């Protein structure tokens, strides 16, 4: 049985390092142009180089998105850019457009090319066509069932890798090819500027009754008619692995480092647990509960087991559910004293109950008994963003471990 790749989003350099530390086999990221997340911090070439070095030292991979649907002006500078990506050691690029595909082929010696989900691949003949052109991997459209994906795998060359989304936001438009944002805000979703208009509140207005707003459902607050639940396939790790999908993709380059760590950790633990002993594997609800400690919408399995119905939509709100706050990131730990150096991310008070978690291990709970600032002065609260503090820990911790607090304890 093949071990699948766990592929995580990296919206910036810190998220890249956290994703890899918490168990991702590869990350995907965008540069300052040509990718579909214009609002993310994205990467300069220098940051990419640092991220690639960090990943390659740990035998992990870095993929760069070039998956906009380009207009003529968007192609300016692309030839030089892809040459630079190859020179700094990028492992693959993701493309959705034949023009960008041809520019990559013509300007690199042996760059691995992945076909983005934006290309809407929904059948084995299309997948085979792109393989024949030189594509190494196809990211299939989110609108496929597991049976359809298995059929594509069975009817395409074994060397062609299939990647599929397993977790994160779902799009109301077909695999992200959306005109709604452009129409509503003049921000082109297909060029990286999506305003998430599908998450807005909408009312119905009849043509001859301007100014009379009717809720689409019986709710005085209106309705979010386009708003999908989030994809979560954590309970279906065996089916995903047995299908032959090569890469399990997590959505979320705009999400927080805490979100990335929480979700990657849960999928890593369950993938490894299943592969260790498939016959006796029993999925634990605790990992689903762990994922819910990061902000989330209600979950759906999307199209994997049939076409979604109205139960897969959220008609009442576009807000995320948030029950825990990211409190701090461990920078260092002194084994002789049991004291950790922590970068604060949300206010911490002496007396707070915190949970501490890290890659490949269970979390533990403790009360904050004492804290010190950088000068060694004892403090009752750490109120400043990214304040460096020291804290006595009940159990050993490591760099990159995280602290979180239930919101009611804040």
Which region, left, alpha or beta, applies to residue 121 given φ > 0 means left and ψ of -120 to 50 means alpha? beta
Of the candidates 1, 12, 213, 190, which has an alpha carbon nearest to the alpha carbon of residue 97? 190
* Strand bridging mode 371-372 / 378-379: antiparallel
Q: Which range has the worst mean pLDDT, 231-240, 271-280, 298-307?
A: 298-307
Q: Residue 312: its pLDDT value, please?
A: 56
Average confidence score pLDDT of the chain: 88
Q: Is the pLDDT of residue 316 over 70?
A: no
> How far apart are the C-alpha atoms of 390 and 378, rounded to whole Å?
9
Q: Which residue has the higher pLDDT, 198 or 99?
A: 99
> How far apart are the C-alpha atoms of 376 and 156, rounded to whole Å?
62
Q: How confident is the model at residue 279 (pLDDT cuts 50, 70, 90)?
A: very high
> How far apart are the C-alpha atoms of 262 and 16, rounded to whole Å?
14
Question: Token pair of 2, please?
Answer: 């093949």
Helices (H) then strands (E): counts for the chain: 10, 22
Angle at 309 between CA 307 and CA 310, to 5 degrees: 160
Neighbours of 10 (CB within 10 A): 29
pLDDT average, residue stretch 328-333:
98
DSSP assignments along 279-317, one per residue? GG----HHHHHHHTTS-BPPEE-TTTTS---GGGB-SS-
Q: Residue 183: its pLDDT value, please?
A: 63
* Tens digit of each residue's pLDDT (9 = 90 or more) over 1-46: 789 999 999 999 999 999 999 999 999 999 887 765 554 457 999 9
Q: What is the CATH number of domain 324-409?
A: 2.40.30.10
* Tens digit of each residue's pLDDT (9 = 90 or more) over 188-244: 666 667 777 766 776 667 777 777 765 555 454 445 556 678 899 999 999 999 999
Q: Is the pLDDT of residue 315 over 60?
A: no
89 three-state secondary structure: coil
Q: Give the rounded percent of residues in the chain with a pLDDT score beyond 90.
A: 69
Alpha carbon 297 to its chain centroid, in Å, reads 14
> How far apart are the C-alpha atoms of 88 and 49, rounded to whole Å?
6
> How far apart are the C-alpha atoms of 323 and 356, rounded to whole Å?
15
pLDDT average, residue stretch 291-296:
87
| SS3 per-residue string spanning 173-210 | CHHHCCCHHHHHHCCCHHHCCCCCHHHCCECEECCCCC
> How far apart are the C-alpha atoms of 158 and 388, rounded to whole Å?
51
Which segments of 72-209 does DSSP mark as H helices, in order? 78-87, 98-107, 124-133, 146-154, 180-185
* Architecture of the domain delimited by 5-173+227-312: Alpha-Beta Barrel (3.20)
Q: Residue 254: its pLDDT value, please?
A: 84
Q: Residue 191: its pLDDT value, please?
A: 60
Q: What is the pTM of this model?
A: 0.85
Domain edges within the chain: 5-173+227-312, 324-409
Q: Which residue has the higher pLDDT, 333 or 294?
A: 333
Q: Is the pLDDT of residue 350 over 80?
A: yes
Q: Residue 251: its pLDDT value, please?
A: 92
Q: Which range has the worst mean pLDDT, 170-174, 229-233, 401-405?
A: 170-174
Q: How confident is the model at residue 290 (pLDDT cuts 50, 70, 90)?
A: very high
Buried/exposed code over 51-79 (b: 16+ C-beta within 10 A; e: otherwise): bbebbeeeebbbbbbbbbbbeeebeeebe
> How far apart are the C-alpha atoms of 77 and 31, rounded to whole Å?
13
Q: Which range has the worst mean pLDDT, 116-120, 143-147, 177-181?
A: 177-181
């Amino acid at each position: 049985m093949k071990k699948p790749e766990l592929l995580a989003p990296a919206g910036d350099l810190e998220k890249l390092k956290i994703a890899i530390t918490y168990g991702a086999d590869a990350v995907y990221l965008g540069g300052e142009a040509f990718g579909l997340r214009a609002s993310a911090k994205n990467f300069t070439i220098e940051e990419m180089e640092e991220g690639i070095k960090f990943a390659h030292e740990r035998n992990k991979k870095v993929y760069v998105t070039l998956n906009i649907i380009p207009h003529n002006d968007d192609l300016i500078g692309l030839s030089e850019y892809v040459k630079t990506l190859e020179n700094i050691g990028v492992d693959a690029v993701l493309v959705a457009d034949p023009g960008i595909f041809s520019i990559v082929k013509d300007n690199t010696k042996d760059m691995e090319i992945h076909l983005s989900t934006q290309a809407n691949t929904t059948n084995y003949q299309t997948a085979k066509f792109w393989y024949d052109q030189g594509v190494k991997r196809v990211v299939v459209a989110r609108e496929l069932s597991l049976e359809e994906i298995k059929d594509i795998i069975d009817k395409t060359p074994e060397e062609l890798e299939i990647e599929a989304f397993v977790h994160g936001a779902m799009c109301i438009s077909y695999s992200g090819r959306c005109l709604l944002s452009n129409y509503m805000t003049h921000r082109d979703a297909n060029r990286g500027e999506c305003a998430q208009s599908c998450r807005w509140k909408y009312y119905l207005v009849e043509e001859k009754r301007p100014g009379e707003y009717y809720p689409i459902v019986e709710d005085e607050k209106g309705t979010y008619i386009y708003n999908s639940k989030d994809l979560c396939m954590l309970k279906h790790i065996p089916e995903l692995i047995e299908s032959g999908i090569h890469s399990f993709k997590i959505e979320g380059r705009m999400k927080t480092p805490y979100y990335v760590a929480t979700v990657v950790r849960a999928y890593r633990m369950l993938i490894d647990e299943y592969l260790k002993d498939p016959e006796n594997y029993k999925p634990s609800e605790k990992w689903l509960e762990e994922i819910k400690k990061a902000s989330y919408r209600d979950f759906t399995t999307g199209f994997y087991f049939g076409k979604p119905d109205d139960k897969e939509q959220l008609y009442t709100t576009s807000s995320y559910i948030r029950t825990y706050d990211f409190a701090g990131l461990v920078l260092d730990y002194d084994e002789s004293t049991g004291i950790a150096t922590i970068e604060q991310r949300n206010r911490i008070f002496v007396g707070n109950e915190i949970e501490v978690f890290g890659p490949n291990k269970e979390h533990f709970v403790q009360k904050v008994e004492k804290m010190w600032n950088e000068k060694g002065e004892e403090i009752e609260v750490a109120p400043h963003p990214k304040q460096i503090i020291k804290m006595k820990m009940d159990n050993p911790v490591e760099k990159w471990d995280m602290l979180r607090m239930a919101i009611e304890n804040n």
